[in-house]
Amino acid sequence: MKAVCPGSFDPVTMGHLDIFTRAAEHFDEVVVLVTGNPNKRSGLFAIEERIELIREVVAHIPNIKVDWWAGLLVDYTTAHGINALVKGLRTALDYEYELPMAQMNRRLSGIDTFFLLTDEKYGYISSSLCKEVAKYGGDVSGLLPDPVVHAVVEKYRAQD
């Protein structure tokens, strides 16, 4: 069975990587799907940069592919014959955010969403919090995969 792990991943964190890794143990193939339009610049990293960083950090896991999509998630999953979504849940806030999306996606296409609870090491990590800490020179090592730490530091250095 194939699954998609969708998200903006701006940038990918250790929490995301943990979810991808665990999803790949349960599903035959996992597509990490970066959502967003490559022609519209929004966020810190361009879609292509997010994809490259994810490819680098999942390179050792053979059943993970990385792709991007700018439309409805269920149009991608239906077109590729995928009938599972996998998301990570950190807190009740994530649950409140994810529940209507899971129900809407199921209504639209019948797809089920599977939730993995975050590892306790990563429960407080988010892309936005890591970016804010890194922007002001704080240490994000261990919170982001090493190549991502370097990329974020370089990105903010280039913006100075």
Specify the residue, 59 or 104, whose C-beta has the smaller distance to ligand PNS.
104
Residues 107-142: b if buried by 16+ CB within 10 A, e if exposed: eeeebebebbebbeebeebebeebbeebeeeeebee
Distance CA 153, CA 117 (A): 29
Q: Is 60 a catalytic residue?
A: no
Q: Of these residues, 40, 41, 55, 121, which one is catalytic?
A: 40
Residue nearest to ligand PNS (CB): 7
136 is in an annotated binding site: no
Specify the residue, 8 or 21, whose C-beta has the smaller distance to ligand PNS.
8
109 is in an annotated binding site: no
Minimum distance, C-beta of residue 157 to ligand PNS, in the bound complex (Å)? 25
Contact at 8 Å (CB) between 4 and 30? yes
Distance CA 61, CA 13 (A): 16
Q: Is 40 a catalytic residue?
A: yes
Specify the residue, 19 or 157, whose C-beta has the smaller distance to ligand PNS.
19
User: Collapsing DSSP states into helix, strand and coil, what is residue 12?
Assistant: coil
Q: Is 127 a catalytic residue?
A: yes
Binding site for ligand PNS (CB under 6 A): 6-8, 35, 72-73, 101, 104-105
Angle at 121 between CA 21 and CA 88, to 5 degrees: 50
Specify the residue, 30 or 160, whose C-beta has the smaller distance to ligand PNS.
30
Minimum distance, C-beta of residue 74 to ligand PNS, in the bound complex (Å)? 6
Q: Is 150 a catalytic residue?
A: no
Q: Of these residues, 2, 90, 135, 155, which one is catalytic?
A: 90
Closest by CA position to 74, among listed 104, 100, 97, 50: 104
Please identify every residue annotated as catalytic.
16, 40, 90, 127
Binding-site residues from annotation for substrate: 8, 40, 73, 87
